[in-house]
Amino acid sequence: MTGYVPEDEASRLLSGSDVGVLPFNQGVTLKSGTLLALLGHGLPTVVTRSDPPEPDLVGGGISRVVERRDVPGITGAVSGLLADAPERERLAERGRAYVRNLSWTATAERHAEVYERVLRDRKNGRHA
């Protein structure tokens, strides 16, 4: 609805929000850059279930998941989060942690660990 918003302005707006809502008709997946931006900003988020469901969203505790096109479910989830500060904080921290794990830095560190383990194993005479 806003059209293009520069990155700094979008970040400022997200940082001033209490709850994020992604009521996509097709459901939300972890491929959604919008979802990752909301989670990365520590925004407790309500999303609609995708088909098939995303296990990390449904069971991971990083967002509230509601059925697609379920207006009462969406409004109830948003209202519930607005009324529950500890739950908002819990979801915010879990979302931030989830996105941190997807960062290029975290990915590079995991690759370096694999390479180091392979080199160590080769040095010790073990081959994969």
pLDDT tens digits for range 66-123 = 999 999 999 999 999 999 999 999 999 999 999 988 877 878 888 888 888 888 888 8
What pTM does this model have? Answer: 0.79
* Contact indicator for 29, 50 with CB cutoff of 8 Å: yes
d(CA 124, CA 73): 57
Any domain includes 80: yes
Residue 30: give the domain boundaries. Answer: 7-102
Any domain includes 74: yes
pLDDT at 111: 85
Q: What is the pLDDT of residues 16-37, one digit of tens each?
A: 899 999 999 999 999 999 999 9
Q: Is the pLDDT of residue 61 over 60?
A: yes
Any domain includes 38: yes
Any domain includes 51: yes
Any domain includes 34: yes
- Number of folded domains in the chain? 1
